[in-house]
Amino acid sequence: MIDPVLDLPRLILRRAAWVALAALLAAAGFGWTTAATDIEEEVTGAQALVELWRQLSTAQSVDAAAVTRLQQGSRLRHLNLSVHDAAGRPVFISPVAPPAGAPMRWLLAAHRRWQGLVEPPALRWTVPRPGGDWTVVAHVSAEAERREALADLARLLGVLAIGLVTLWLGLRLGLRRAFAPMTQLLQAIGTLATQGATALRRLPPMPIRELAAIHEALQRLAADLDRLEEERRLLSQKVQSVQEEERTRLARELHDEMGQRLTALRVDIAWLLRQPMAPTQQAVVQSMSERCNEVQQDLRGVLHSLRPLGSAGEADEPVPLERVLQMIEHLVASWCAGAAAQDRQVLQPSFETAQGDGDGDNDGETPLSQALVQRLHLPASLALALYRLSQEGLTNVARHAQARRAALKLTVLLQEGQVHGLEWSLTDDGVGLPAGADVLHRGNGLGGMQERVWALGGEWRVAPAAAGPRPGLRLSARLPWSAGVET
């Protein structure tokens, strides 16, 4: 049972607290430095005022060079000061502050509009001097104070913005790291429909307790899915086995009952043909003999369809690959003969080998060599599956596809000199599948083929063969098989 106190929120809040603390320390450091600078400027301004007053009080005459030195050396804060001699000549005038930049001008204009300040009146007095009294005019500047206050506010807002951006980036990084395992879980859950429990089994251990609990539950789910899939596969194999056993039983009954009766009927007809009779009667009996022979041939075809492997299938003995290929060729030839009147054509089946995993359109396909065909033997279940897939696929083309051409191909997949699987495919140029994928689950056609492939642990694919008004259909099955024979 999971503790109600969750780890994930605490982890996120802990990381957010560290980021906030870092931002606070950065702001404190910036404020500490700014405070030292402000103190230095205030002290320098006051010292400059005292020094200016000392120089003015001791000056005896007006000198242009002295005036320049006074103006350059003064760093008065928020004070505009002008001194003129008795003749009105300037002894000292405070330097004009440089114009503010564009952002500061906009901020000053907004502050003047929303909160105006009253400038204090200028103070004027005279200073006695031997050559005549000097006039001093001092004006405390509220605008300069506004400018300095807004500059401090701008710096504070900048520090705050940097802190918030840093906090956001830190939280984003922390959340991404905290929820990175959650992304893996969601991706694995999203692939359940296509990959089954494979993605769940590949999940790495989760670092957070809640995600670890979800991971454990998904692992149990994967184990249950594997168990259910194996049970369903075994059930499907049993169903296929029961179907084949029923076909075998029917074949035996047909062979024992119908075969004996047809044989007896042919013996009777042969006896009649040896008896003297009119020509018309003999023609009728001869026709009966031919019809009986046709029925017997049809019965043999039905028996072969019901039990294509004969006694090898019943004994579950390995079947030579050469025999399987002959069976498929015979099946295609029979189907072509039956479909000739419907203007349909099945290309000669192709049997090939392909290097690699055989995905998609295999590169480097070569015809299957006769030497390899003679050396390979298939399990009876696999041989029967290939035959049934070809039989049911061609039946589907004849009944539903409205196709003019169909191509059947069997590829032996090779890798590093070893056989590791078979790929069967049937492609037609018909109308394709109707709207809705439930057609795969109706009846015993494509759905039965899919169940047969799935029961053997293979992969089943249904896709359009081409683009256009008649997309056609491509059925393909990847069947696992390890021959263990050097090729």
pLDDT tens figures, 171-204: 787 777 777 777 777 777 777 766 667 777 777 7
Instruction: Give dist(CA 454, CA 20) in Å, integer.
Output: 57
Q: Are residues 63 and 135 in the same domain?
A: yes
For residue 2, is it within any domain?
A: no
Nearest CA to 132 out of 86, 200, 199 is that of 86
For residue 485, is it within any domain?
A: no
Highest-confidence segment of 16-25, 113-122, 386-395: 386-395
Q: Are residues 408 and 382 in the same domain?
A: yes
For residue 391, is it within any domain?
A: yes
Instruction: Give dist(CA 256, CA 253) in Å, integer.
Output: 5
Residue pLDDT, tens place only, 289-329: 888 888 877 777 777 777 777 665 555 678 888 888 888 88
Residue linked to tokens 């007006």: 62
Token pair in block for residue 172: 């984003």
Cβ contacts of 134 within 8 Å, gap of 6 or more: 56, 83, 84, 85, 86, 91, 126, 127
Instruction: Out of 263, 283, 307, pick the residue that ends a domain.
Output: 307
pLDDT for 114: 79
Q: Are residues 161 and 201 in the same domain?
A: no
Q: Which domain holds residue 386?
A: 315-480
Residue pLDDT, tens place only, 202-249: 777 877 777 777 778 888 887 887 788 777 777 776 776 777 777 777
Taking the CB of residue 428, how many other CB atoms lie within 10 A of it?
28
Instruction: Give dist(CA 385, CA 294) in Å, integer.
Output: 29
Q: What is the pTM of this model?
A: 0.55
Place 485 in a pLDDT band, splitting at 50, 70 and 90.
Answer: low
Instruction: Give dist(CA 218, CA 370) in Å, integer.
Output: 49
Instruction: Give dist(CA 170, CA 440) in Å, integer.
Output: 51
Q: Residue 384 belongs to a domain with what CATH number? A: 3.30.565.10
Instruction: Out of 140, 157, 181, pick the residue that ends a domain.
Output: 181
> Greater confidence, 314 or 281?
281
For residue 200, is it within any domain?
A: yes
Instruction: Out of 307, 330, 358, pick the residue that ends a domain.
Output: 307
For residue 323, is it within any domain?
A: yes
Token pair in block for residue 23: 């931002």
Q: Are residues 363 and 279 in the same domain?
A: no
How big is the chain, counted in residues?
Answer: 487
Q: Are residues 260 and 338 in the same domain?
A: no
Number of structural domains (the chain) is 3
Q: Are residues 172 and 32 in the same domain?
A: yes
Q: Are residues 227 and 376 in the same domain?
A: no
For residue 403, is it within any domain?
A: yes
Q: Are residues 287 and 329 in the same domain?
A: no
Q: Are the beta carbons of 372 and 353 closer than 8 angstroms?
A: yes
Q: Are residues 339 and 403 in the same domain?
A: yes
Residue pLDDT, tens place only, 107-138: 777 777 777 767 778 888 887 877 778 888 88
Instruction: Give dist(CA 264, CA 467) in Å, integer.
Output: 57
pLDDT for 424: 92
Q: Helix, strand or coil for residue 461? A: strand
